[in-house]
Amino acid sequence: MNSPEDTSPRQEPLGELPAGRPLQTDFNDGLDYPRLGTVSFRRGTLTDNQQALFNEHWPHLGRVLADERIDLDEWFGRTGHPTIVEIGSGTGTSTAAMAPLEEDTNVIAVELYKPGLAKLLGSVVRAGTDNVRMVRGDGIEVLVRMIAPNSLDGIRVFFPDPWPKARHNKRRIIQSGPLRLFASRLKPGGVLHVATDHADYAEWIDELVDVEPLLDYKGWPWDDCPILTDRQVITKFEGKGLTKDHVIREYLWERTDAPNPE
């Protein structure tokens, strides 16, 4: 006798994104935004230990991009704490190093590459760090779909992909549109912190420091900055840059107290 066909919905593996073209918001404000094609992920696999930790802790510590606002107090299990989103956390080296130095702050690491998130998850679990959460997805879409306006105390963009070929410059995350989006998600007084070791990207950012009226450019360093800006450790990508005598440029902006257009 043939067994009845299994009609139960298939369970997606933990932390997986839907196949095909990713969610992509259409912005109609006349500003420049990076556009994604179909995302193909490097097939990095998790070690057995990483997979075991991922299976156990991702349901509590991680989420996948979705059309759902994050309830920060519920997710972190505490109320009234400042929150920082780190866009493009990579393998989480700086995230894991900075988080224990800012225990009073909620930190959300956003990254597309699953093995990078698994490495960060393992780091925070082994260290007993309880103020880090993770979202797998494109940073722009995570901010649009999952983060409420005027809710963040800080946004970090450390060593974003420089897209060095001129025809790919439109994919860079630091553009007029993302700067407007960052400002909209920050509270008045919130801080945007960007770092790059790519000279051409630094020149690109130099042209944009005053383009967003809701962001007051503070330069670097900013002694009175209300959030931690000393990354304390040399990240993997920063270390590569230093070995090539690259100059690391850092940028800080403060969200003004002007009304948010949203």
SS3 of the chain:
CCCCCCCCCCCCCCCCCCCCCCCCCCCCCCCCCCCCCCCCCCCCCCCHHHHHHHHHHHHHHEEECCCCCCCHHHHHCCCCCCEEEEECCCCCHHHHHHHHHHCCCEEEEEECCHHHHHHHHHHHHHHCCCCEEEEECCHHHHHHHHCCCCCEEEEEEECCCCCCCHHHHHHCCCCHHHHHHHHHHEEEEEEEEEEECCHHHHHHHHCCCCCCCCEEEEECCCCCCCCCCCCCCCCHHHHHHHHCCCCCEEEEEEECCCCCCC
Distance CA 188, CA 242 (A): 35
Distance CA 226, CA 115 (A): 32
Domain extents in the chain: 86-255
Mean pLDDT for the stretch of residues 170-197 = 96
Is 237 annotated in a binding site? The answer is: yes
Compute and round to an integer the Cα radius of gyration of the chain.
19
Is 235 annotated in a binding site? The answer is: yes
Is 206 annotated in a binding site? The answer is: no
List 26, 161, 216, 230, catalytic entry = 161
Is 138 annotated in a binding site? The answer is: yes
Residue 8 has pLDDT above 50, yes or no: no
pLDDT in tens, 184-220: 999 999 999 999 999 999 999 999 999 999 999 999 9
Indicate the CATH number of 86-255 among 3.40.50.300, 3.20.20.30, 3.40.50.150, 3.40.50.2300.
Answer: 3.40.50.150
Is 238 annotated in a binding site? The answer is: yes
Query: Given this model, what pLDDT does residue 46 score?
Result: 87
Is 236 annotated in a binding site? The answer is: yes
Residue 242 has pLDDT above 70, yes or no: no
Is 165 annotated in a binding site? The answer is: yes
Q: Parallel, antiparallel, or unpaired for β 132-136 and 152-158? A: unpaired
Q: Determine what percent of the chain is predicted with pLDDT higher than 70.
A: 84
pLDDT in tens, 79-113: 999 999 999 999 999 999 999 999 999 999 999 99
Is 111 annotated in a binding site? The answer is: yes
Lowest mean pLDDT among 44-53, 104-113, 160-169, 235-244: 235-244
Residue 262: CB atoms within 10 A of its CB come to 11
Distance CA 199, CA 47 (A): 36
Mean pLDDT for the stretch of residues 39-49 = 70
- State which of 80-89, 168-177, 239-248 shows the largest mean pLDDT: 80-89
Lowest mean pLDDT among 44-58, 95-109, 127-141, 216-230: 44-58
Does 67 participate in catalysis according to the annotation?
A: no
Query: Given this model, what pLDDT does residue 170 score?
Result: 87
Are the CB atoms for 215 and 221 separated by under 8 Å? Answer: no
